[in-house]
Amino acid sequence: MEYRIEKDTMGEMQVPADRYWAAQTQRSYQNFKIGGELMPREITRAFGYLKKGAAIANHNLGKLDETKKEIISQACDEVISGALFDHFPLVVWQTGSGTQSNMNANEVIANRGNEIYGSKLLHPNDHINMSQSSNDTFPTALHIAAAMSIEDNLFPALDQMIATLKRLEDENTEYVKSGRTHLQDAVPIRFSQEISGWRYMLENNKAQLEASLPGLKRLALGGTAVGTGLNAPEGFGEEVAKVISELTGKDFTTSPNKFHALTSKDDVTFAHGALKALAANLMKIANDVRWLASGPRCGLGEISIPENEPGSSIMPGKVNPTQCESMTMVAVQVMGNDAAVGIAASQGNFELNVFMPVIAYNFLQSVRLLADGLVSFHDNCVVGIKANPEKMKHNLYNSLMLVTALNPYIGYENAAKTAKKAYKENISLKEACVELGFLTAERFDEVFHPEEMA
């Protein structure tokens, strides 16, 4: 491999000749050989928006000339497009402020900009990092990435699932099945009513996530090192938030209190709580689906789901609810991520939180997994859910809890005696009720209508 020499305040470093990063990135690359988890590409892209926004804001406020602004903007556009992702090699497990990732962005944009311009026009610190500090850029990149990931990736997947559940709800109004509580038989419910519960869970989760977005859209940029705004021009925070809003199409604002923005990660923690709530609901829905589809002969078997692949290497013909299993594993990971985010957010010592890379990694992984998991679960399972009316009716009419319909006519205690006799002697509720003398066969038929109980 060929190398070139780059310099920083600590001396010279050999850097791969075909990479745009410079000395500070190289030091981090060599000093943190930990794991293989790269800084999320959502953060890299967010830095592209951030650095372009800062260049435009600095120009608008009279600090950066037109040529530098234009060249920086061109290089940032390549970061945003993903064309320069190979030049961002740093792992999550680095400095807790994300300083090296901020410098990675500064160096790549400066060197690529100089290449575009044809000579050394830009300096990573003096121009790309103008009016900024790692301490306000990394939390800003985190908020930009979090808000955009939720709105652009997770919400479309959620909306698609909600729409399909609404379709299934409308298609299954005629089917009445046994309800279940405590994994035991309960009174009847319409299959459409059961589906409506799933649908509303996801609608409620979306509303919770929407409630978290205003906090994520408040940006720390303008606080610089400790929140005082040292070395940033007056109005920089407001101007850069306005420019980033124009670049992204999102309504970002400057944080009204930069001291809070640098040291507290409560907005991200709050938003991840909503992600955890979504994971909990998806766990419930996926479990319901696989229970209802269990069988095909020895389980509930009240619905069928698509058969996507063989389920066993030893049992021929076996097919498993693999999409449900995948969705529930995603839910478990997101719940674990929530613990990491919460603990990391509690570590804001004095003027700065220094657990931000791990917060970014876990938060963005949660959004990515939930969005991808929803699409997979939807496309490969939920769209193909079909009711099994015969099995639903069979299970319904064998449920002892239908005796609840007799309460108004024979009383709770006599209804309980009827259910226990039917279960003990393996006879129908009608036979038990008539044998106990509580109702005649004719009167039982008049009052006993399980479908009407839903």
Give the C-alpha separation, 232 to 70, whole Å. Answer: 20
**CB crowding 101-132: b at 16 or more within 10 Å, else e:** bbbbbbbbbbbbbbeebeeebbebeebbbbbb
Give the C-alpha separation, 168 to 71, whole Å. Answer: 53
**Quick check: is 312 catalytic?**
yes
Give the C-alpha separation, 430 to 422, whole Å. Answer: 9
SS3 265: coil
**Quick check: is 182 catalytic?**
yes
Selecting among 264, 312, 366, 428, the annotated active-site residue is 312
Strands (E), 294-361: 303-304, 348-349, 352-353
H or E stretch at 178: strand 176-181
Helices 266-292 and 191-216 sit at what angle, rounded to 10 degrees?
160
- Residue 331: count other Cβ atoms within 10 Å of its Cβ: 24
* DSSP calls for 145-166: HHHHHIIIIIHHHHHHHHHHHH
Q: Which residues pair with 185 in a beta bridge?
A: 180
* Cβ–Cβ < 8 Å for 420, 436: no
Selecting among 97, 182, 272, 346, the annotated active-site residue is 182
Catalytic residues: 182, 312
